Amino acid sequence: MNILPTDRVMPVLSCASLLSFWSLDFLSFQPNRIVPGTGFSADAALGWPWAFCMTALLLFIIAASFTRLRYRHAVQLVCLILLLLQLPLGLAGFSSVQVPDTLPHARTGIASGFWLLLFFAALMLIELQQKMHLSRLKILILLMLPLICLFWVYHTGQIESLALVREYTARSSQFQDALRVHLLLVCGAVGISLLSGFLLVSLMRQWPFIQKFIFGLLNFVQTIPSLALFGLLIAPLGYLASRSEFLQSINVSGIGWAPALIALVAYSLLPISRNIFIALEEVPYAVLESARGMGMSRVQVFLHVRLPLAMPVILEGVRITSIQAIGLTAVAALIGAGGLGSFIFQGLGQAAMDMILLGALPILVMALLADLLFSGLAGLFRNGAKQ
């Protein structure tokens, strides 16, 4: 019996894509930064033939799910990648047609139809990944095609009129600074909390009675909203800095990087130390015993047996922590810590939508990449343990 069920997920998602593709504005055009943009529907933005090609791809995806072909998911995946390839090309085509040389400040924008199409395409990609049991790495490699295409149209200057690109070019050095600060804060927080997590856990293993207290305290800190914790740190740190020459010399004050880092570490400690604790506890006693029996020293048992076996769970803690820290660092921009959040809040202050995107989109990408990286690493260690 090999009757493949016709699934309804792909047709539903493609219909939703078609609907947003045809009923909403696809791209938009602004003569300058201040004037509100005018929206263009898909056929007006891309021209009839192109819009029909993309529609045909989506219809093909729908049709493929009603067939009993064994390779229908692969066919759908190819269609989807082809569709995604059209998006950067469409942007480039629209920019070259719409933006006259006489308007140097004109900008093209991405409208809701485009975003929704992208969203549904992402959902279809996730669905196909599940159906075909592909690893996330393979999907990422496939996604490289549209991404390289996007990079190519960017690099050759074909989408320099895109509002997001215009915002970026105007602030490229600021952006790189912000990105560096953001990464530095996240890495610093994760690094410090990883070290202190190990320290805390070894203390807890020494004296089990402090375990409940420490986890209780860390849990309590985790409940306090980020804005409140940042706010609560301003007064005491400001006071300390005003008293100490040394703190002033390393640029510590009530606002800036210092309260941000302290708060980030405070938030990171719970997931990290909880995972380290669980990971080290979960290593089977028999394994440790046999390692000792083989004549390994205590240090060797820890480094060669216990730590590698505990690694997947520890890395899961690092994954949770870095994702959390990436988001919280964005909030830290409010207390002057810099980072990509400063674009978000500046953009909100000036009602400059593209500046908000310039801050928010890299944060999303960073969080996704951190997720991918650490879950991949944890997978490697897990496979290593199996062999």
Partner 1 sequence: MSNRKRLLFWGLPLFWGMCLFLATLGLPWLEELFRQIAPGHRQVIYSRDSFALLLGNHLLLVGLAALISISLGLASAVFVTRPYGRDFLPLVTQVASMGQTFPPVAVLALAVPLLGFGALPTIMALSLYGLLPIVRNTLVGIHSIDPALLESARGMGMSPLQVLWQVEMPLAANIIIGGIRTSVTINIATAAIGSTIGATTLGDPVISGLVNGNTAYVLQGAILIGLLAVTADSCLDRLQQWVSPRMDSRT
Query: Looking only at residues 76 through 115 of this chain, which bind partner 1 when binding is defined by CB under 8 A?
Result: 112, 115
39 makes contact with partner 1 (CB under 8 A): no
117 makes contact with partner 1 (CB under 8 A): no
The two structure tokens encoding residue 80: 């989807």
254 makes contact with partner 1 (CB under 8 A): yes
SS (HEC) of the chain: CCCCCCCCHHHHHHHHHHHHHHHCEEEEEECCCCCCCEEEEHHHHHCHHHHHHHHHHHHHHHHHHCCCCCCHHHHHHHHHHHHHHHHHHHHHHHHHHHCCCCCCCCEEEECHHHHHHHHHHHHHHHHHHHHHCCCHHHHHHHHHHHHHHHHHHHHCCCCCCEHHHHHHHHCHHHHHHHHHHHHHHHHHHHHHHHHHHHHHHHHHHHCCHHHHHHHHHHHHHHHCCHHHHHHHHHHHHHHHHHHCHHHHHCCCCCCCHHHHHHHHHHHHHHHHHHHHHHHHHHCCHHHHHHHHHCCCCHHHHHHHHHHHHHHHHHHHHHHHHHHHHHHHHHHHHHHCCCCCHHHHHHHHHHCCHHHHHHHHHHHHHHHHHHHHHHHHHHHHHHHHHHC
Which CB atom, from 309 or from 330, has the smaller least distance to partner 1? 330
235 makes contact with partner 1 (CB under 8 A): yes
**Using the rule CB under 8 A, which residue among 63, 278, 367, 373 binds partner 1?**
367
278 makes contact with partner 1 (CB under 8 A): no
**Using the rule CB under 8 A, which residue among 328, 337, 339, 378 binds partner 1?**
328
**Using the rule CB under 8 A, which residue among 16, 139, 247, 360 binds partner 1?**
360
378 makes contact with partner 1 (CB under 8 A): no
In whole angstroms, how close is the CB of 220 to partner 1 at the nearest point? 7
139 makes contact with partner 1 (CB under 8 A): no
In whole angstroms, how close is the CB of 233 to partner 1 at the nearest point? 9
227 makes contact with partner 1 (CB under 8 A): yes
**Using the rule CB under 8 A, which residue among 53, 294, 364, 380 binds partner 1?**
364
4 makes contact with partner 1 (CB under 8 A): no
Residue 336 in contact with residue 205, Cβ under 8 Å? no
Residues for the chain: how many in total? Answer: 387
In whole angstroms, how close is the CB of 278 to partner 1 at the nearest point? 18
| 195 CB neighbour count, 10 Å cutoff | 11
Binding residues with partner 1: total (CB under 8 A): 53
**Using the rule CB under 8 A, which residue among 353, 376, 381, 382 binds partner 1?**
353
346 makes contact with partner 1 (CB under 8 A): no
In whole angstroms, how close is the CB of 243 to partner 1 at the nearest point? 15
Residue 343 in contact with residue 358, Cβ under 8 Å? yes
167 makes contact with partner 1 (CB under 8 A): no
Which CB atom, from 36 or from 293, has the smaller least distance to partner 1? 36
296 makes contact with partner 1 (CB under 8 A): no
**Using the rule CB under 8 A, which residue among 139, 234, 247, 278 binds partner 1?**
234
Residues that bind partner 1 (CB under 8 A): 7-9, 112, 115, 123, 126-127, 129-131, 220, 223-232, 234-235, 238, 254-255, 323-324, 326-328, 330-331, 334-335, 341, 344-345, 347-348, 351, 353, 356-357, 359-360, 363-364, 367-368, 370-371
